[in-house]
Structure 1
Amino acid sequence: MTDMIVVSDYDPQWPEQFEDLRQRLAPHVADLAVSIEHVGSTAVPGCAAKPIIDLDIVVPEEAAMPELISRLAGQGYRHEGDLGIRRREAFQAPPTAPEHHLYGVVADSKPHLDHVLLRDYLRQRPDEIHRYSALKVALAQRFPADKEGRAAYSTAKSALVENLVARSYAARAAGAS
C-alpha cells in the first residue's frame, strides 16, 4: 500500500521549529537578508498542514540572489531553481537538517507578498482557516504521497489557494485606504 500524504492538526511546536531553523540560517545570511520569514500553513495557528516548515529568506534585490544561492550551497542546500515561479528560488535541505522547505525571495516581489499576505490574512480569519484545513485533510486522504499524488494534491487545492491569495491582496488594499 502506498503511503498517503500526511496533513496534521496545527502543532504549537511549529513556531519553535521555525525559530530553530531560522537560528541555523541567520549567521550565514544575516548581512544579506532583509528577514527570514515563517510562511505556509505551519505559520498559521489553528491551520492543518503537512508537518514541514516553510521559510522564506527575503533579500533586498534580485542582484543578491546569486550570493544567497552560493552561501546556502556552502551550508549543504541544493539549489533547485525557481520551480516555475519567477523571483522565487527553491532549495532542498541538507540530509542532516530537519525536513523543511526553503525559498529565497526578493522583498516585495509577488512570491514574497503571496506568502506573507496569505499567512497574515489567514491568521485573522478562523473561518478561512477551517475551510482551507478541511480541504487539505480531504485531499490528503485522496492522494498517495508519491510524486504524482503530491502534484495532484497541490493542483486540487490551487483554486482555493488562489482565491485566498486574491482575498489577501484585497484585504491589504482595503486596509491601505
Structure 2
Amino acid sequence: MADKKRHEYEVVLTEYSSDWVTLYNEISGILAKSLAGWDIEMEAVGSRVVPELWSKPVLDIMIKVPPEARDQVDQVITGMGLTRMNIAELGGRTFYRRWGPDGNPDLHIHVVNEYQWQHSHERVFRDRLLRNRDMALSYSHMKRLLLDLSDGDAAAYSRAKNEFIRCLDTILNDLPPKP
C-alpha cells in the first residue's frame, strides 16, 4: 500500500479504547531498542489517547530526535513497514504512515527536532483535552458531526477538523488566564 496517497481512505471514527496503550508500548519499545544510544523522546499524541474521545483508529506517535540520528530513524521506521510521506504543511517534520489490513491508516509516526517538539500543537492540544473533559467531549461530538458532513471523505474531514481546531485555539488563546 506504499503508493497510496495521503487522503486515499475512508475516515472511520471509533469509541475510545485503551487498546492503544498496548500498541504504543509495543511500537515505542521497538523504537527505543532500535535507537538506543540516541537522545530521543517519544509520546503518543492525537485523539486516540484521550479517554471518551471518538477518534480514527490510528495511533500517532511523536519522536524527538537529534539531526544526526535522522538517517537511522528513517531506516528503523521504514523497516517497520511504515511509508514516509512528504506533507508540506507539517513544517519540516518527517511523517510516516502504516496502512492497516483494511486499507486505512493505523499508525502514524511524526519525527521532529527539538524546536518542533517544544512547540508541537499536537502535544499542547492533547494536553488541553486531557485536562478538560467537557472540551474533549465537545470536540468528540464535533468530530462525529464533521464525519457525517464530509461523508467519510478523508480530505474534506481533515480540512474541516483542522479549521475547527484553529478556531478553538484562537478562542482558548484569547481567554484571560484562570486565577
Which residue of 125, 128, 132 maps to 1:125? 132
> Where does the alignment leave 5 or more consecutive residues of structure 1 unmatched?
none
Secondary structure at the aligned position of 1:93 is classed as strand
Secondary structure of 1:109's aligned partner: helix
Change (3 A) 1:37 1:169: farther
Kindly state the Cα deviation for residue 63 of structure 1 after the two structures are TM-superposed: 4.2
Quick one: distance in 2 between partners of 1:144 and 1:170?
32
Pairwise CA distance, 1:94:
7.0
Residue 153 of structure 2 corresponds to residue 163 of structure 1: no
- The counterpart of 2:95, out of the listed 66, 90, 98, is 90
**Contact 2:60/2:107, CA 8 A, preserved across alignment:** yes
1:136 aligned to 140, 143, 146, which one?
143
Judge conservation of contact 2:10–2:154 (CA < 8 Å) in 1. no
Distance 1:8 1:125 in 2: 20
Q: Identity rate of aligned residues, in percent?
A: 25
- Which ranges of 4 or more aligned residues in structure 1 deviate by more than 6 Å? 167-171
2: CA distance, partners of 1:28 / 1:12: 25
What is the number of equivalent residue pairs in this alignment?
167
**TM-score, normalising length: structure 2:** 0.76
Distance apart, 1:23 and its partner CA: 1.7
Aligned AA for 1:65?
R
The answer for the alignment partner of 1:46 in structure 2 is 52
Normalising by structure 1, report the TM-score: 0.77
Aligned CA-pair RMSD: 3.1
Partner of 1:76: 81
SS of the residue 1:104 aligns to: strand
Q: Which residue of 2 aligns with 1:12?
A: 18
Q: Which runs of 5+ in 2 are unaligned?
A: 1-8
